[in-house]
């Protein structure tokens, strides 16, 4: 097992996750089976209870793990399926150690950060690195370990110490340390400044880890002078100073690292497979797309694109497949509401919605903006504009249908109006009302087709069922299904019991589809998710 450990310095948001995933792509292109682990030093057990405001989207895995969005990058870049244990958090590690202490596993000993926490971290890394992730039952050959946060943070200190020890546990020759840093550009001649990187490497070396490779984020390629200076001051070989400068799209990153000789440093034959050719085609095709398609995204975190990262990626994958340049028109759902106080904002929001070729309402929790989402669903239904509703987006479309087609004016979800008389959406019986962490209907569940033929079934292709990932507490009210279906809103996909609604498609509409699950978690660059592909095809007249 070869390990690549990726740490970061200077500041967050340098694209450490993309760098780490790109190194994984290079290893994969050499024919290795690659997996990954992300360490998040916070105390939460998982990302499930964190607000998108704090930490971006919560990514959901097959096994129901609610994890950091970087795991999504790994799944998409490496085309693997990870599990909850691939995301290490301080909450998980400490729970494990404290549980062992209570059991008496350390009887007589003082339980301490070193060696007990650092030991538990290393055991975890080694165990999970060997778990198959590519759909086969074979253990991976290589593992990328990304350490979240920035070197020097108090909470990441035990992990740095664990990783320092780890090189002795698994052999120094089996670990490559990569440090991602920033080279700012200053002044009128655009001088590349090396001092921040010098400082962060000094700090890392002070903690006992000497990086083998430096990856420097910068606006332009590093000059030879900058490389040499960094090499001299940071104790790194000059050829091991890489630059990840601005590129038009992220598919260029593995190519850029390969061109700078990363494969040689890792002693990889990066042309052992056709993978890099595939990436090259993707990267350059995406650059040349010029004809635009506008998709309106009606959400409530529209100023924070990280909150919808996988949805954006899925739209991009689907747009690439229909040869269009994707333009997402962000619409703050509450701006669509008739009582929104700023009339200019309301006007602008409606204008954007009406100009778009397709409408997407993503998942969400809480009642802010819900009435606006209901209006967006109504607009798409009545104007024959292609619509994809994901999770809450399916639920609001059902509420709208109950109100405006079936005539139940007070219809709602009991999430937003507990006492509503004709709810379209209700709380699922098996869900806990007292505990919020990890208690939703989570992870991969099968959806069985209820009809032989429909648009969304054709998009999915072969098979009697589809497996997609879930994350919800509410569902379509079973008592409402008959009425909805008899008016044309057909539930074409249901769970194994035949009770729970998973997919609807509206009769006589170009594309009006809702899914209770989150298809965005399984989309891949070269294998767009079918509901997204349907939306993009319908929005560009290609369905
Ligand atoms: N809040 C809704 C539910 O819990 C929708 C969840 C979602 O969109 N992920 O069912």
CA dist., res. 96 & res. 117, Å (int) = 9
Give the pLDDT confidence score for residue 393 in this predicted structure.
Answer: 97
Give the pLDDT confidence score for residue 64 in this predicted structure.
Answer: 95
Annotated active-site residue 520? The verdict is yes
Q: For residue 435, is pLDDT > 90?
A: no
Distance from the alpha carbon of residue 199 to the mean position of ligand 1, in angstroms: 45
Annotated active-site residue 252? The verdict is no
Where does the pLDDT of residue 459 fall: very low under 50, low under 70, confident under 90, or very high at 90 and above? very high
CA dist., res. 94 & res. 91, Å (int) = 5
Q: For residue 191, is pLDDT > 80?
A: yes
Q: Is the CB of 199 under 6 A from ligand 1?
A: no
Q: Is the CB of 362 under 6 A from ligand 1?
A: no
Give the pLDDT confidence score for residue 411 in this predicted structure.
Answer: 96
Where does the pLDDT of residue 430 fall: very low under 50, low under 70, confident under 90, or very high at 90 and above? confident
User: What confidence tens digit (pLDDT) does each residue in 33-79 have?
Assistant: 999 999 999 999 888 888 877 788 999 999 999 999 999 999 999 99
CA dist., res. 237 & res. 415, Å (int) = 58
Where does the pLDDT of residue 384 fall: very low under 50, low under 70, confident under 90, or very high at 90 and above? very high
Mean pLDDT of the chain: 94
User: What confidence tens digit (pLDDT) does each residue in 467-511 have?
Assistant: 999 999 999 999 999 999 999 999 999 999 998 999 999 999 999
Give the pLDDT confidence score for residue 117 in this predicted structure.
Answer: 97
User: What confidence tens digit (pLDDT) does each residue in 510-525 have?
Assistant: 999 999 999 999 999 9
Helix 252-259 and helix 275-288: axis angle, to 10°?
120
Q: Whose CA is nearest to atom 8 of ligand 1?
A: 363
Q: For residue 151, is pLDDT > 80?
A: yes
Annotated active-site residue 430? The verdict is no
Distance from the alpha carbon of residue 364 to the mean position of ligand 1, in angstroms: 5
CB < 8 Å & 24+ apart, contacts of 283-288: 283/249, 283/251, 283/252, 283/255, 285/320, 286/248, 286/249, 286/251, 286/320, 287/248, 287/249
Q: What's the sign of the alpha-carbon dihedral 8, 10, 12, 16?
A: negative
Q: For residue 378, is pLDDT > 90?
A: yes
Q: Whose CA is nearest to atom 6 of ligand 1?
A: 472
Give the pLDDT confidence score for residue 54 in this predicted structure.
Answer: 76
Among 391, 433, 502, the mutation site with the greatest number of ligand 1 atoms within 8 A of its Cβ is 391
Q: Which of ligand 1's atoms lies nearest the C-alpha of 474?
A: 10
Where does the pLDDT of residue 302 fall: very low under 50, low under 70, confident under 90, or very high at 90 and above? low
Helix (H) or strand (E) run with residue 484 in it: helix 481-486
Distance from the alpha carbon of residue 491 to the mean position of ligand 1, in angstroms: 18
CA dist., res. 98 & res. 92, Å (int) = 10
Q: For residue 438, is pLDDT > 80?
A: no
Share of the chain above pLDDT 70, in %: 99
Nearest to 296 by CA among 262, 270, 265, 335: 335
CA dist., res. 530 & res. 508, Å (int) = 20
Can you tell me whether residue 192 is helix, strand or coil?
A: strand
Distance from the alpha carbon of residue 417 to the mean position of ligand 1, in angstroms: 14
Distance from the alpha carbon of residue 441 to the mean position of ligand 1, in angstroms: 10
Tell me how many helices (H) and strands (E) the chain has: 18, 22
Q: What average pLDDT does this structure show over 217-246?
A: 95
Q: Is the CB of 350 under 6 A from ligand 1?
A: no
Q: Which residue has the higher pLDDT, 433 or 318?
A: 318
Q: Whose CA is nearest to atom 9 of ligand 1?
A: 363
Give the pLDDT confidence score for residue 304 in this predicted structure.
Answer: 66
Among 333, 368, 471, the mutation site with the greatest number of ligand 1 atoms within 8 A of its Cβ is 471
Can you list the positions of beta strands (E) in 210-250?
213-218, 241-245
Q: For residue 106, is pLDDT > 90?
A: yes
Give Cα separations from 365 to 186, 391, 416, 474 (angstroms).
Answer: 43, 10, 10, 10
Q: Is the CB of 500 under 6 A from ligand 1?
A: no
Give the pLDDT confidence score for residue 301 in this predicted structure.
Answer: 76
Q: What is the DSSP string of 362-387?
A: ----SSTTHHHHHHHHHHHHHTT--E
Where does the pLDDT of residue 318 fall: very low under 50, low under 70, confident under 90, or very high at 90 and above? very high
Q: What average pLDDT does this structure show over 401-429?
A: 94
């Amino acid at each position: 097992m070869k390990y690549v450990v990726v740490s970061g310095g200077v500041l967050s948001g340098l694209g450490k996750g993309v760098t780490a995933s790109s190194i994984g792509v290079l290893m994969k292109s050499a024919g290795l089976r690659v997996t990954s682990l992300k360490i998040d030093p916070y105390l939460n057990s998982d990302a499930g209870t964190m607000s998108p405001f704090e930490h971006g989207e919560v990514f959901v895995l097959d096994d129901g793990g609610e994890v950091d969005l970087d795991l999504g990058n790994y799944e998409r870049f490496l085309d693997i399926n990870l599990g909850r244990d691939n995301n290490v958090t301080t909450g998980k590690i400490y729970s494990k150690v404290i549980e062992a202490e209570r059991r008496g596993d350390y009887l007589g000993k003082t339980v301490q950060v070193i060696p007990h926490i650092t030991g538990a971290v290393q055991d975890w890394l080694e165990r999970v690195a060997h778990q198959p992730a590519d759909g086969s039952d074979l253990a991976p050959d290589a593992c990328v370990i990304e350490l979240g946060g920035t070197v020097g943070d108090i909470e990441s200190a035990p992990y740095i110490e664990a990783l320092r020890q780890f090189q002795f546990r698994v052999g120094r020759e089996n670990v490559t340390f990569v440090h991602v840093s920033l080279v700012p550009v200053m002044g009128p001649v655009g001088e590349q400044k090396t001092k921040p990187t010098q400082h962060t490497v000094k700090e890392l070396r002070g903690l006992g880890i000497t990086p083998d490779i430096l990856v420097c984020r910068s606006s332009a390629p590093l000059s030879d002078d900058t490389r040499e200076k960094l090499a001299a001051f940071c104790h790194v070989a000059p050829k091991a100073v890489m630059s990840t400068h601005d590129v038009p799209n992220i598919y260029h990153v593995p190519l850029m690292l390969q061109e700078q000789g990363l494969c040689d440093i890792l002693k990889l034959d990066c042309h052992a497979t056709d993978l890099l050719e595939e990436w090259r085609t993707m990267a350059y095709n995406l650059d040349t797309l010029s004809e635009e398609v506008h998709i309106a995204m009606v959400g409530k975190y529209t100023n924070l694109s990280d909150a919808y990262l996988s949805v954006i990626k899925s739209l991009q994958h689907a747009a690439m497949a229909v040869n269009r340049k994707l333009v997402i028109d962000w619409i703050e759902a509450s701006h669509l509401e008739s009582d929104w106080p700023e009339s200019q904002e309301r006007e602008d929001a409606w204008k954007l919605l009406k100009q778009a070729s397709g409408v997407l309402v993503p998942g969400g929790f809480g009642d802010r903006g819900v009435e606006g989402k209901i209006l967006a669903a109504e607009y798409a239904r009545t104007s024959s504009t292609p619509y994809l509703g994901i999770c809450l987006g399916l639920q609001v479309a059902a509420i709208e249908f109950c109100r405006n087609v079936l005539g139940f004016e007070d219809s709602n979800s009991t999430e937003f109006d507990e006492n509503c008389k004709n709810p379209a959406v209700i709380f699922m019986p098996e869900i806990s009302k007292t505990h919020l962490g990890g208690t939703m209907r989570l992870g991969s569940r099968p959806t069985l087709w209820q009809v032989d033929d429909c648009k969304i079934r054709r998009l999915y292709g072969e098979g009697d069922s589809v497996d997609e990932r879930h994350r919800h507490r509410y569902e379509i009210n079973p008592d409402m299904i008959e009425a909805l279906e008899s008016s044309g809103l057909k539930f074409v996909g249901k769970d194994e019991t035949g009770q729970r609604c998973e997919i609807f498609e509206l009769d006589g509409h170009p594309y009006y589809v809702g899914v209770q699950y989150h298809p965005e978690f399984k989309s891949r660059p070269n294998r767009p998710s079918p509901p997204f592909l349907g939306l993009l095809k319908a929005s560009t007249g290609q369905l």
